[in-house]
């Protein structure tokens, strides 16, 4: 077996610590943004989502202790790989947004949308990372009940969150991401280039030709 129970519980604990780091970083960014005049929306839904994520980790650990007998090596290895991919995608988004990254919906009026990094391919890479992890983290130890139940709940919460977030971000965001899928990138498609970037490139080519 690729991973024993004690090791799996350590993985769940590590994910919990990582979530704590995210919340601390989010609070620091939020304080700075709110001091600069940004506006927060969707506080109630955010509180529900925070509790949901805490329950997810408790459920994964509880299922492993109560029912888990591990899982075959191929499934465990795939799940471990997917978890690593999810983490990499999340921190690609965090690094790309910098001080504008947040777990809450905080909007600075007049700020131009960020369209670089993973945002060239999907509008919400952080949420895609969450979707991956809701399946992969439990399946490292075969906790399929947690993966199924929380993936279903996460689908509902993300539908609400994405709708409210995009509405709060306004027309400038809608226009900038008109050709970008929300969660699943277009396989085989060329990376998205915002219209203003494409125009600037065209102007540079004219200048040097």
Compute the CA torsion angle 82, 117, 23, 53 (nearest 10 deg).
-40
**pLDDT digits over 41-58, tens only?**
999 999 999 999 999 999
- Give the residue with greater pLDDT, 3 vs 117: 117
What count of Cα atoms within 13 Å lies in the side-chain half-sphere of residue 121?
A: 16
Q: Taking a C-beta distance cutoff of 8 angstroms, is the pair 87, 14 a contact?
A: no
Does the structure show a pLDDT above 70 at 206?
Answer: no
Residue 120, pLDDT > 50, answer yes
Enter the CATH code of domain 5-208: 1.20.120.1630
The DSSP code sequence of 13-72 is HHHHHHHHHHHHHHHHHHHHHHHTT-EEE-HHHHHHHHHHHHHHHHHHHHHHHHT-----
Please give the backbone phi and psi of residue 29, each rounded to the nearest 5 degrees, phi first.
-65, -40
User: Per-residue pLDDT for 92 more than 70?
Assistant: yes
Rounded mean pLDDT, 131-160: 97
Q: What are the backbone angles phi and psi of residue 39, rounded to the nearest 5°?
A: -120, 135
Instruction: Indicate if the pLDDT at residue 194 is higher than 60.
Output: no
Which of 76-85, 134-143, 194-203 has the lowest average pLDDT?
194-203
Partners of 182 in beta bridges: none
User: Is residue 201 over pLDDT 90?
Assistant: no
Q: Is the pLDDT of residue 2 over 90?
A: no
pLDDT, the chain, mean: 89
Q: Give the residue with greater pLDDT, 117 vs 69.
A: 117
pLDDT digit string, tens, across residues 151-187: 999 999 999 999 999 999 999 999 999 989 999 887 6
Distance from chain centroid for Cα 100: 14
66: tokens are: 């109560």
Question: Which residue did the predictor score with more confidence, 114 or 68?
Answer: 114
Give the residue-averaged pLDDT of 109-123. 93
Domains of the chain, by residue range, sit at 5-208
Q: Indicate the Cα dihedral angle 37, 43, 46, 51, nearest 10°.
A: 130
Q: What's 100's DSSP letter?
A: G
Round to whole Å and give the CA distance between 114 and 202. 20
Predicted local confidence at residue 91, as pLDDT? 96
In this prediction, residue 186 carries a pLDDT of 76
Q: Mean of the pLDDT values across residues 55-79?
A: 93
- The token duo for 78 is 């795939």
Q: Quick one: pLDDT band at residue 1, thresholds 50, 70, 90?
A: low
């Amino acid at each position: 077996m690729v991973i024993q129970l004690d090791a799996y519980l350590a993985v769940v604990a590590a994910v919990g610590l990582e979530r704590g780091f995210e919340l601390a970083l989010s609070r620091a960014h939020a304080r700075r943004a709110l001091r600069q005049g940004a506006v927060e929306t969707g506080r109630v839904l955010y509180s529900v989502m925070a509790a949901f994520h805490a329950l997810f980790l408790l459920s994964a650990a509880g299922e492993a202790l109560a029912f888990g007998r591990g899982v075959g090596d191929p499934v465990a290895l795939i799940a471990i790989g997917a978890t690593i991919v999810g983490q990499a995608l999340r921190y690609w988004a965090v690094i790309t947004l910098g001080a504008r990254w947040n777990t809450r919906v905080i909007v600075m009026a007049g700020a131009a949308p960020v369209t670089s990094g993973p945002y060239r391919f999907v509008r919400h890479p952080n949420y895609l990372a969450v979707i991956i992890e809701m399946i992969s983290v439990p399946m490292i130890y075969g906790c399929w009940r947690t993966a199924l139940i929380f993936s279903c709940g996460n689908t509902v919460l993300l539908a609400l969150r994405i709708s409210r977030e995009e509405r709060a971000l306004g027309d400038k965001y809608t226009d900038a991401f008109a050709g970008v899928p929300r969660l699943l990138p277009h396989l085989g498609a060329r990376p998205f280039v915002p219209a203003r970037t494409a125009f600037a490139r065209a102007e540079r080519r004219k200048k040097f030709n």
